[in-house]
Amino acid sequence: MTGPGQWGPPALPGLEHAWSRSVTALDSQGVRRTWHVLDSAWSGTTDHTGYAGTLLCVHGNPTWSYLWRHVLARFSRPGAPPWRVVAVDHLDMGFSERTGTVRPLAQRIADLGTVTDALGLTGPVVTVGHDWGGAISLGWALRHRDQLRGVVLTNTAVHQPSGSPAPALIRLARLPGVLPAVTVSTPTFLLATLALANPSLPAPVRDGYLAPYRSPDRRAAIGGFVADIPLTPEHPSWSALTEVAERLDTLAEVPALLLWGPRDPVFGQAHLRDLRARLPHAQLHRFEGAGHLLAEDADVAGAVERWVTDLDQPSVVAAADPGPETAPAAGPTDPAPETAPAVDPAPESVPAWRPLWAALEERADDRSAALVELARGGRQVSWSLLWRRIREIAAGLSASGVRHGDRVALLVPPGADLTAAVYACLRIGAVIVVADPGLGLTGMNRALRGAAPAHLIAIGPGLAVARALRWPGRRLGAGPGAAALGALTLGKLARLGAGQRELPDPPEPDDDAAVLFTSGSTGPAKGAVYTHRQLAAMRDALSGLGLDAEAGIVAAFAPFALFGPALGASSAIPDMSVTAPRTLTAAALAEATAAVDASAVFASPAALRNVVDTGDLLDPRQRAALAGVRLLFSAGAPVPAPLLAQARALMPGAQPHTPYGMTEVLPVTDITLDEIVDVGPGDGVCVGRPLPGVRVAIAVLDETGEPAAEPGCPVGRTGEIMVRAAHVKDRYDALWLTERASSRNPGWHRTGDVGRLDPDGRLWVQGRLAHVLVTAEGVLTPVGIEQQVESLPQVARAAVVGVGPRGVAQVVVVAETRPPVRRPRLAGRELADAVRGVVAPPVAAVLLVPSLPTDIRHNSKIDRSRLSRWAERVLAGGRLSGW
């Protein structure tokens, strides 16, 4: 029997009264019970035809179906996917009947089946579970396989992994004499759970969660749920939970989605690893910064909507196709002839895969220098020694338990140790995880916890930090400091592997090879997963820049430190701080150039600036060494043409290049200084034409600043930059939503950058999509305006940010001056008028700072998001300090 809710909730934020209903039926004991249900299809009728399926949402403890109000609202709005949402209050919970009974897990699963039978659900059904509701929803799913269309889980568990303690909140609540006091007699456990929300719940929402639990008799089941968590085999619910856990492999053909809040003190990384092992096919999205109450912390409703939309459509989140090598020269997603010009047609055949380590293996008998590192007294390693060391470490890693597919995090500075460790891992099929110190400690902590490596190789300080922050992975060491901490070192691994003649079979081309983290300059760093084929394609793309085995390379830019050996080129790593590119001096660059007779130099813009600033200190021998450079590459952020010209004055034989790319696809385009001068100034930074095998297209921005769904727009129009190439990353790691957005056009990667193509096919980068300003005057991109401001002699660098609501945002200019100001302040009238005189859109304010905040990795990318938040506070009357 169904009808209006007898114990229906009061008026609460976000909760429609029309959703509330009661369901009365006989439970498995033959007792008539009444459940409270929120039902998006409830209108006093049982005719629910026209729905694609039902989302069956199951809450945990100590919440109730109010947890799912956002999902109900999302699917109740006009134009939403035609899915019915049913959220059930467990008996003795929420506004369901108080039975006075103890209902263990098996009974809870049976109760849910009673409700769905009473509602007449016949499928298709997608279960959505949270906390203890995850196990209950999975139990229902296993018993109703014929109705099941998919499963969604948010911060839950079906097993307490061995070696990991039970959640502290649960252990404390289960202490003798404590359980009744904190769960029933008082609302302590409930309040503690609500306090886990991040950000904190608004008072009305908090009161909404408290509404059904105002008295001890209404909270009895909160204590019962905590008591029912089986931590030992002797517990009555152990067998029921074990059955659910062990039968999850039968859902291998059922679509699954894991949505996770990493800041959860209840269900941590160990529980997520366990779920992923049991549902290896599940898609996963980690909402950085979110915690246990994920539906409150993040847009779970939006994620579920996107996922069910994809269920009956060709997957838009599958790995992008291999790119131009296998794609036809033209297709339905290619730019139309009258729009963006076509770029290099695709070859007709796929080239044979050549492993990344092939050049090293081919030079196994070569005693010439492969790698020279000039920091810490200097070190030179020959090709033969490097390959032997790689083989020995590879064999040692394998003998010590590192297996194909294991993730291995590397916290080792660029040099011989890192190179040997990387190629050893790749050779045995282990997946390298690269989260460099440029992310900062917070960023590295977030990245490593997200990547969940099984092993971690680090120098002494890295091992100490890993231990202090409890980073995942078995500890392996590099260098003497690591040995002192008792770790199994690369040296010991090499000795262990020295006697091994055979290595494990090499990986397949399409096996995962690496997780490379982005700089984090526009939000939390993302892990880009590459296969072996894609890494090899990146090497081949770099060779298209004019690099080959004859070119000695100075790698003053960390991303390129590992590709010299792959290219078969001798490489030198200058004496500088990896985490501070601006520490590279002209003298250090010259010494590195001389060490390998380098004809090519890679350096970030910040490093190049300091090279120019210290050029006067070079001696004649060092100047002669730099005169032999033929190729100068600077990337990672826009590079001013005057800086390139000054650098060429120190390297008169060099042609400066500024390749454009990103962690997800590098390189994309290239341009020389001569071309930059010939093109002249324009709206944005000209980064040249696509490299061979790379296609670039533009998804035009509309009047709201949103990019079009498909690529292709008139020449000169601004939009999101899209790239197609064999060396585009395979996917984002544990970021299903992000990957879905970036690769929703098959074969294309949506970069998040905005720009335009000119009539000659050159790409102009105009900023990041996240930094586009939508003002009353229209859509504005920041880079062109910043270039106009930087044309003023008294301005060293500028950043343009928006303040206020999208659509009526106000333009604010934040600038460094010559000479710099000592503290943040408003610009004087003369400078403010000068800025407004060179900028077309109205400028609300001009703010001056001693230096613009930049990312740690490059020391070059301006943190516009931080500046925007600060400028908004200032314009709202806040203090200029604390920026």
Q: Judge residue 328's burial from the number of C-beta atoms within 10 Å of its C-beta, 0-12 exposed, 13-18 middle, 19 or more buried.
A: exposed
Task: Tell me if the pTM is above 0.85.
Answer: yes
Length of the chain as a residue count: 883
What was the pLDDT predicted at 6? 45
Distance (Å, whole) CA 422 – CA 408: 9
User: Which stretches of the chain drop beneath a pLDDT of 50?
Assistant: 1-6, 44-45, 314-349
Contact between 572 and 553 under an 8 Å Cβ cutoff? The reply is yes
CA angle 113/217/175 to nearest 5° reads 90
Q: Among candidates 451, 454, 457, which has minimal Cα distance to 420?
A: 457
593 φ, ψ (degrees, to nearest 5)? -65, -45
pLDDT by residue (tens digit) across 776-804? 999 999 999 999 999 999 999 999 999 99
Domains in the chain with CATH codes? 2-161+239-311 (3.40.50.1820), 168-229 (no CATH), 772-875 (3.30.300.30)
Distance (Å, whole) CA 655 – CA 58: 63
Tell me the Cα Rg of the chain: 30
Q: Which residues contact 368 (CB under 8 A, 6 or more apart)?
A: 382, 383, 570
Q: Are strands 379-382 and 407-411 parallel, antiparallel or unpaired?
A: unpaired
Number of CB atoms found within 10 A of residue 191's CB: 14
In DSSP notation, 501-567 reads: --PPPPPPTTSEEEEEE---TTSS--EEEEEHHHHHHHHHHHHTTT--TT-EEEEESGGGTTHHHHH
What was the pLDDT predicted at 859? 52
Contact between 746 and 320 under an 8 Å Cβ cutoff? The reply is yes
Q: Which residues contact 719 (CB under 8 A, 6 or more apart)?
A: 698, 699, 700, 701, 707, 708, 713, 754, 755, 756
Using CA atoms, how far residue 116 sits from 66, 95, 109, in Å, is 19, 17, 11
pLDDT by residue (tens digit) across 324-380? 332 222 233 344 333 444 444 444 445 678 999 999 999 999 999 999 999 877 899
What was the pLDDT predicted at 323? 32
Distance (Å, whole) CA 628 – CA 598: 7
Contact between 750 and 742 under an 8 Å Cβ cutoff? The reply is yes
What was the pLDDT predicted at 551? 86
Paired tokens of 307: 């996922």
